Structure 1
Amino acid sequence: MRNEAKTTATSTATSAAASLEAAPPRSFRARPAVWLAMIGISTAVCALAIMIGTHKFHLGPAAIVLMPILWTVLIGGFLGVQKWRPIGGRARAVSTHLMDVSIVFFLAGLGSQIGPSLAKFTNIGPAILLQEVGHVVGTVILALPVAVALGLGRTAIGATWSIDRESYLAFAIQRFGVRSPEYRGVFGVWVLGSVFGAVFISLLAGLLGGLEFFDPRALALGLGLGSASMMLGGVGALSILYPEMAGEIMALAALSNLVTNIVGFYAGVFIALPLCQKLYRMWSRIWGRDDLGRRIRGAAPARALAGSRGDSPGTAAEAADSDDNPGAGTVDVNSIEEDPTVIRTPRTWLTAFAATGAVGVLLNALGTGSARPLDVVGVLILLALTAVALVLAKLVPAVPSSIWVLALATLASATFLPIGPFIASATQNINVLFAGLPMIALIGMSLGRDVKALRSLSWKIVIVALITFTASFVAAAAIAQVAMKFQ
């Protein structure tokens, strides 16, 4: 018996060793050719998108705006899902490493644009500040219960805690990871907003403005959604309805958008997201749904929810309604590919930083049509802020680098600090939507890993996205209207 057991144990160990040897390595050292390919392709995608340019079409009061960021998504996404020369797991792993730097670099650029305008807060009335509550809370209160009821599961959190523009997308990647349902909710709403957001908001603004229920100034304040294309679409519709107030509408919408870019990100991260996560658990119990969006039988939602999170394996599956279609409209976790990871060394970090900076200077010059020696200095400053933020995030893991870098860049470029005017002048000609465009291309090129999971969101994410945009705009306008009456 002892020899038999020994033989069995030896056989099991041998089989395990063989399976480990046969399995692909989970971490690897990427060859220079892979780095050059991903950097070159992503740069070419961005350059092509910039050359295609911005195109605007009028449809009555609505305005359809097609910008380079949209072309980048479409071209990068096509390359990510095409089967002729598919982008493999190792190439996507290199893409992820590059993305980790380019995301923080993009946010550094965004912060440098906000800092010089901080002084404007002294003249902002309560209406423009209070409307931010509508942007933050309106989506969570109105859109979240619908998303949970439709069976989006934890994807509902990502789809409804904000209107999911670029800074929120960057935060979601770092906070949840690209393979999480929360991230897919953010990404789904972000894509829909990039494609249809301006058209939808312009139609909605025209409808509400034509009803003459809201003060046009309140609607203008509500347009500060954190998205330039959505804001401009709404401004165009309101300006047609109220031509005598066109200048004031544009000024108020732009100022509101500035407040959203400065305050909204922090309010979304520290207020809306925790609130959304708590209310998600409540609505999951009320609607009887588990974390995969499956319907739960009887009165055992708590057990099923725990099981779907892995606390009690199998419980959620046993509690799920067999007549429901598990996972419909949510993320099919079995369709998510597991990519290996690049072994990160000082050389890989240096490569990622050098590529981000060089490509940023090139695309900014191509997009803005101008190049100054000071722009190179500005990019180097943004890269330095990026490096400091990444180090701080490693030292204080509770605060991600996306928050560190936005705060550092905003303060560093504030004109009330001694070094602020120089940093502001060095970065003022850097258009972050051009310099940070590779982040979008790299995300699109990684779609091959997640395309099945994104397809599984189906029509439900479209409904939730439209409700999220509507709730944010209408709630902000309503709060601004009330504040203006009591001002």
Structure 2
Amino acid sequence: MSTRGSVGRGDWVVAIGVSVLVSALAVLVGEHKFRVGPAAIVLFPLVWVVLMGAVVGLQRWLPLRGSTRSAGEALIPVGMVLFLALLGTGIGPSIGMVEEVGPALLMQEVGQLFGTIILALPIAVLLGMGRAAIGATWAIDRESYLAYAIDRFGTSSPEYRGVFGVWILGSMFGAVFISLITSVLGGTGWYHPLSLALALGVGSTSMMLGGVGALSLLYPDQAVEIAALAALSNLVTNIVGFYAGVFIGLPSARRLYSFWCRVFRRPAPEIEEARLVARGRVPEGDASVRVKEEAAGRAEVERPQDPDIPKGWRPGVTAYLFAGAAGLLLNWLGTGGFHPRDAAGMAVLLLMTGIAIFLAGKFKAIPATVWVLALATLVTTPISPVAGVIADLVQDLDVLLIGLPQLALVGMTMGRDRTAFMQLSWKIVVAAVLTFTTTIVASATLAELFIHH
């Protein structure tokens, strides 16, 4: 499919203007909490901004151009790393909590790895998803897993379709869904809020932010600890979670897939065929393999191809200026106040963001999100000579407001994936809900066993 147009000045204006407007409206709508039985549902600006951004991106009356989406995508990474920089400044002062929750942190990682495989995979097999069940339930399927699935299985494989389905649903609705399930669990009183905070380390910044926002509203007196532990857990997941998923989760899911196929009497000849191909006993292009894969519904989900995301120093400078200025504007709108130190604090956060992105470019195996969390944590630990200064500068910056424009842009880019989303079977929706829910519930349950009340 050919690329449509190129990114012009008007695209930057539309992407920036609409995202700021949507974010401002989300802040003005504010927070709303209501109870459903023993649970509490919390709706707050982060939820509104994702939903309103999605409406803008998916509506057909004044559809966004592909070039505008590309401009928006160029603005997203800096803002998300900036958000993590601010979140990381809360980890350093709370680093002593690691000793207390160390075992709980480890157990939530175990819960995240096996929760979906043990609980969601058999249901996906029972629904008759075929090998797509493996891709949908071996992990929570964020960007790193999607890239691995493309490389490992190819874009026409059932495994990839499963990964892609959960990924696109998570990109569209993950932050909203995680905030809702977290608020429900938090409102029941069954879990310690720090157990739920640890469970939010799923490797997705937007999902983690959604859960942190919900918990912070339910437990305002523990908001700092909740944000710090969630960020720490997310850091651990970004470092070791992917490798655990590749080397432990995926092999386990493949073996259990065969087991559940036998239990539910679902045909699984493709697993044996794949093993024979891997051992060289059946040619990779064998017709019988192709027929069975086509019968299973192999098809690459098409999507419009937007222009390449702009790169270079001009888009880079634009992204930094936008993240800083929009963050300060929304912080002022949401908190009702502005202090000169807020601008200085934002400058410090942007500096850490720039360093992290530079290091990620030099050491490509480690993403900028990992670098910035480590850097922000290091400079705010009690042993850091600048910890007090940084804490003073960022004390009035609200972490739940800084990343709103970028989340609005995430919603606005969904128009590109409209066709792909419409082609998803209802089964993948069920699988995604199961994957997200079991990840949080299993992680929180195991963490709860080791949290010191």
- Is 1:365 the counterpart of 2:332 in the alignment? yes
- Is 1:142 the counterpart of 2:118 in the alignment? yes
Alignment of 1:346-425 (within 5 A): 346-425=313-392
Deviation at 1:443, TM superposition (A): 0.8
- Is 1:320 the counterpart of 2:301 in the alignment? no
> C-alpha distance in 1, partners of 2:130/2:354?
36
> C-alpha distance in 1, partners of 2:277/2:237?
32
Counterpart residue identity of residue 273, structure 1:
G
Task: Tell me, yes or no, if the aligned pair for 2:23 and 2:408 is still in contact at 8 Å.
Answer: yes
Task: Tell me, yes or no, if the aligned pair for 1:101 and 1:353 is still in contact at 8 Å.
Answer: yes
Counterpart residue identity of residue 166, structure 2:
G
Match of 1:17 in 2: none
Match of 1:114 in 2: 91
Deviation per residue, 1:422-459 (Å, 9 max, x gap): 12222222222211111211111011111222233443
- Is 1:263 the counterpart of 2:233 in the alignment? yes
Task: Tell me, yes or no, if the aligned pair for 2:120 and 2:434 is still in contact at 8 Å.
Answer: no
Match of 2:82 in 1: 105
- Distance change >3 Å, CA 355–CA 233, structure 1 → 2: closer
- Distance change >3 Å, CA 144–CA 175, structure 1 → 2: same
Task: Tell me, yes or no, if the aligned pair for 1:61 and 1:202 is still in contact at 8 Å.
Answer: no
Match of 2:403 in 1: 436
Residue from 269, 276, 280 that aligns with 2:249: 276
Residue from 49, 53, 56 that aligns with 2:33: 56
Counterpart residue identity of residue 118, structure 2:
L
Normalised by the size of structure 2, how large is the TM-score?
A: 0.77
RMSD value over aligned CA atoms? 4.1
Deviation per residue, 1:262-319 (Å, 9 max, x gap): 134323541343333443444566568xxxxx9655831346899xxxx859875323
> C-alpha distance in 2, partners of 1:132/1:259?
12
Deviation per residue, 1:208-260 (Å, 9 max, x gap): x7xxxxxx6x65554233257657978999xxxxxxxxx9xx98998576434
Deviation at 1:413, TM superposition (A): 2.4
Instruction: Tell me the matched-pair count.
Output: 422
Counterpart residue identity of residue 115, structure 2:
T
Counterpart residue identity of residue 270, structure 1:
V
> C-alpha distance in 2, partners of 1:138/1:113?
29
Deviation per residue, 1:364-386 (Å, 9 max, x gap): 11112221111111111121112
- Distance change >3 Å, CA 480–CA 302, structure 1 → 2: same
> C-alpha distance in 1, partners of 2:412/2:321?
20
> C-alpha distance in 1, partners of 2:345/2:316?
20
Give 1 or 2 for the bigger CA radius of gyration: 1
Deviation per residue, 1:173-226 (Å, 9 max, x gap): 99889x98646524524655544545545656788x7xxxxxx6x655542332
Residue from 63, 80, 83 that aligns with 1:86: 63
**Paired residue secondary structure (2:34):** strand
> C-alpha distance in 1, partners of 2:107/2:38?
24
Give the percent of matched residue pairs that are identical in Structure 1 and Structure 2: 30
- Distance change >3 Å, CA 299–CA 205, structure 1 → 2: same
Task: Tell me, yes or no, if the aligned pair for 2:209 and 2:400 is still in contact at 8 Å.
Answer: no
- Residue ranges of structure 2 left out of the alignment (5+ in a row): 201-207, 262-266
Deviation at 1:350, TM superposition (A): 1.0
> C-alpha distance in 1, partners of 2:342/2:23?
19
Match of 2:413 in 1: 446
Normalised by the size of structure 1, how large is the TM-score?
A: 0.72
